[in-house]
C-alpha cells in the first residue's frame, strides 16, 4: 500500500505530559486507527539543555496509562547524522548558508546557519482551519542550525517527518506559525508530497486563558489525574470533547448522555475535520461528571482495590476495622466520589468511622427512645441471612415505622447505629454492621436514653 496514512506525535521532553499533549496524542491515535495508518511517537529531544529523561519517562507513562499505543518509536537525537546530512544538502544546493554573527554577550563572532528564504507565498490546506495563505517574506532568512553539527527544531522536525513518510501532521494550534517555515524546508529538501496539516485548538480555562503550568499548577499534567484516581477511559472521553463534539452544535455546558463515548464509539464517530477552530474550554466539572459515569461501570473488585489502597492508615487502626467491612462500603463510597482520590478525603474526614468504632450518640441527638425496644425485637426476629440485603431489613421494619411514625422509629435507629446527624439510611448501615452489632448499638442507645 503506497498511500498508507502515517502520523506522528512529536512531544519535546522539556516538561511532563500536558493535558493538551495528551489530547493531541488522542486525536492522532483516533485518526490513525480510523484509517489503518501508522502512528509514530517521536521524542523531539534535540534541545539538550531543556530535555530531560524524567520528562520523557513521564510522557511515555502517561500515554501508556491512556492506552494510546504507538506503532513506532523514534528518538530524534538518534537521527542527528541524518539531520546533518540534510543541512549539508541545503548548503551544497545553496539553499542555506553559514552566517558569521555577533554574539551579543561575548562580543565574539559565532556562526549560525540560515535558510535562504525564497520569499514567496505559501498556501496550505489545514483540515480544521481550511486554506491558509502566508507570505514568507516576513520570516527573513531564519536559523536552521547552530553550526554544521547542530541542526535545530524546524530542520530536525521536517527531516524526521520526511524520513518517516509522515502524511498527516496533527498538532496544537501554537505550531500554525511554524508551518510556513517548515513547508519551505520540505520543498528545499525535495519532498515529493506535502503533509496534510490539522492544527487543533488551544485549551483554555474558564477565563479563556491558555492552560499553563504557571497559572494552573499540576492540574495541567496528565500524571496529576492518574494520581487523583481518574479513570483513563474517562479522561480520554473528556479529552475527545475538548474541541470536538458528537453533537451538531456543542455549547460545552452540561454534559449529555450522547457525550459518553467509549473507545470504540470514539473510533466510530470522531472526525478530525469537525474539530472546532475556537479554543476549547477545560471544565473540571464536566470531567468529574464523566468520571462518575465511568465509575458506575467499574467492577466491584476494581473499586475494592482502590478503596483498600486509598483508605488512610488511621481508619485501618480503628477497633472494629476489617478489610471485609471496608469493602462492604463500596456502594456507599462510589456514589459519593468524583474520583478515587476522594476516597482518601472522605474516609480521612471520619464520616464513616462509625462503621469501625462504636458510636456514643448523645440523648439530644437520639431524640426519642419510645420505640427502640420494639425495633430491637423486630431486628432480633429477622434471620441473619436477611442482613445481606438492606431491602429485607427495610421490609421488616417498614410497616411498624409507618404505623408509629417513621421519624419516631427510624431517626433514633439511624442515630443509634451511626452516632451522626447525617449518614446513609439505617437499613444500609444495619446491613453492613450485621445483626449482632446492630442489636448491640440499639441496646446501647436504649441505655443512653434511660
Q: How many residues does the chain have?
A: 450
Nearest to 286 by CA among 335, 237, 346, 225: 237
- DSSP class of residue 136 equals G
- Mask for 56-85, x = binds ligand GLU (CB under 6 A): ------------------------------
Is 29:64 a contact under the CB 8 Å cutoff?
no
Q: Which residue in the set 18, 83, 171, 226 belongs to the binding site for ligand GLU (CB under 6 A)?
A: 171
Residues of 34-51 as b/e, b for ≥16 C-beta within 10 angstroms?
beebbbbbbbbbbeeeeb
State the minimum distance, in angstroms, from the CB of residue 177 to ligand GLU: 12
The residue written with cell numbers 480520554 in the block is 236
Q: Is the Cβ of residue 78 or residue 399 nearer to ligand GLU in the bound state?
A: 78
Interface mask (CB under 6 A) for ligand GLU, residues 175-214, using x and -? x---------------------------------------
Nearer residue to ligand GLU within complex by CB, 18 or 286: 18
**Applying CB under 6 A, does 336 fall inside the site for ligand GLU?**
no
Subset of 15-44 contacting ligand GLU (CB under 6 A): 44
d(CA 207, CA 222): 21
Q: How far is the CB of 43 from ligand GLU (least distance, A)?
A: 9
H or E segment and range at residue 449: helix 435-449
Shortest Å, Cβ 63 to ligand GLU = 14
Q: Could you tell me the smallest distance in angstroms from the CB atom of residue 422 to ligand GLU? A: 49
Of positions 5, 6, 7, 11, contacts ligand GLU by CB under 6 A:
11
46 binds ligand GLU (CB under 6 A): no
Backbone angles phi, psi at 73, to 5 degrees: -120, 130
What is the closest distance, in whole angstroms, from the C-beta atom of residue 280 to ligand GLU in the complex? Answer: 17
* Region from 8-16, 63-71, 333-341, 351-359 binding ligand GLU, contact rule CB under 6 A: 8-16
- Reference 219, options 19, 68, 61; nearest CA is 19
- Pick between residue 171 and residue 181 the one whose CB is nearest to ligand GLU: 171
Q: If you write DSSP's letter for every residue of 11-23 in order, what string do you get?
A: --SSSSPBHHHHH
Q: Which of 7, 32, 117, 157 binds ligand GLU (CB under 6 A)?
A: 157
C-alpha dihedral, 405 to 407 to 410 to 413, nearest 10°? -120
The residue among 91, 99, 171 whose CA lies nearest residue 182 is: 171
Binding site for ligand GLU (CB under 6 A): 10-12, 44, 157, 171, 175
Amino acid at each position: 500500500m503506497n498511500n498508507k496514512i502515517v502520523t506522528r506525535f512529536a512531544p519535546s521532553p522539556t516538561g511532563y505530559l500536558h493535558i493538551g499533549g495528551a489530547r493531541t496524542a488522542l486525536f492522532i491515535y483516533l485518526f490513525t486507527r480510523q484509517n489503518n495508518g501508522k502512528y509514530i511517537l517521536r521524542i523531539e529531544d534535540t534541545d539538550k539543555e531543556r530535555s530531560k529523561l524524567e520528562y520523557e519517562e513521564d510522557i511515555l507513562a502517561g500515554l501508556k496509562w491512556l492506552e494510546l499505543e504507538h506503532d513506532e518509536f523514534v528518538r530524534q537525537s538518534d537521527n542527528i547524522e541524518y539531520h546533518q546530512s540534510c543541512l549539508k544538502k541545503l548548503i551544497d544546493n545553496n539553499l542555506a548558508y553559514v552566517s558569521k554573527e555577533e554574539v551579543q554577550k561575548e562580543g565574539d563572532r559565532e556562526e549560525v546557519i540560515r535558510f535562504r528564504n525564497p520569499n514567496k507565498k505559501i498556501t496550505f490546506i489545514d483540515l480544521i482551519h481550511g486554506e491558509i495563505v502566508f507570505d514568507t517574506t516576513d520570516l527573513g532568512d531564519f536559523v536552521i542550525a547552530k553550526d554544521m553539527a547542530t541542526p535545530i527544531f524546524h530542520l530536525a522536525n521536517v527531516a524526521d517527518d520526511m524520513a518517516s513518510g509522515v502524511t498527516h501532521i496533527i498538532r496544537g494550534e501554537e505550531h500554525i506559525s511554524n508551518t510556513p517555515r517548515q513547508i519551505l524546508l520540505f520543498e528545499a529538501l525535495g519532498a515529493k508530497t506535502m503533509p496534510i496539516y490539522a492544527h487543533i485548538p488551544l485549551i483554555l480555562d474558564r477565563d479563556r486563558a491558555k492552560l499553563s503550568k504557571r497559572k494552573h499548577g499540576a492540574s495541567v499534567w496528565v500524571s496529576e489525574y492518574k494520581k487523583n484516581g481518574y479513570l483513563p477511559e474517562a479522561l480520554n472521553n473528556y479529552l475527545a470533547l475538548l474541541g470536538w463534539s458528537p453533537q451538531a452544535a456543542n455549547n460545552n455546558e452540561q454534559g449529555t448522555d450522547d457525550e459518553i463515548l467509549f473507545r470504540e464509539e470514539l473510533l466510530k464517530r470522531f472526525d478530525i475535520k469537525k474539530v472546532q477552530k475556537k479554543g476549547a474550554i477545560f471544565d473540571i466539572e464536566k470531567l468529574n461528571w464523566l468520571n462518575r459515569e465511568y465509575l458506575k461501570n467499574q467492577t466491584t473488585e476494581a473499586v475494592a482495590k482502590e478503596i483498600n489502597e486509598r483508605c488512610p492508615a488511621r481508619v485501618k487502626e480503628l477497633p472494629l476495622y476489617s478489610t471485609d467491612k471496608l469493602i462492604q462500603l463500596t456502594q456507599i463510597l462510589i456514589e459519593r466520589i468524583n474520583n478515587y482520590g476522594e476516597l482518601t478525603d472522605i474516609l480521612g474526614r471520619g464520616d464513616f468511622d462509625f462503621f469501625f468504632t462504636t458510636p456514643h450518640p448523645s440523648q439530644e441527638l437520639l431524640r426519642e427512645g419510645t420505640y427502640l425496644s420494639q425495633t430491637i425485637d423486630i431486628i432480633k426476629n429477622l434471620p441473619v441471612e436477611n442482613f445481606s440485603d438492606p431491602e429485607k431489613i427495610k421490609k421488616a421494619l417498614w410497616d411498624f415505622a409507618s404505623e408509629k411514625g417513621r421519624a419516631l422509629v427510624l431517626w433514633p435507629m439511624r442515630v443509634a447505629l451511626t452516632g451522626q446527624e447525617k449518614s446513609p439510611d439505617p437499613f444500609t448501615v444495619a446491613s453492613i454492621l450485621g445483626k449482632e452489632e446492630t442489636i448491640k448499638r440499639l441496646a446501647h442507645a436504649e441505655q443512653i436514653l434511660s
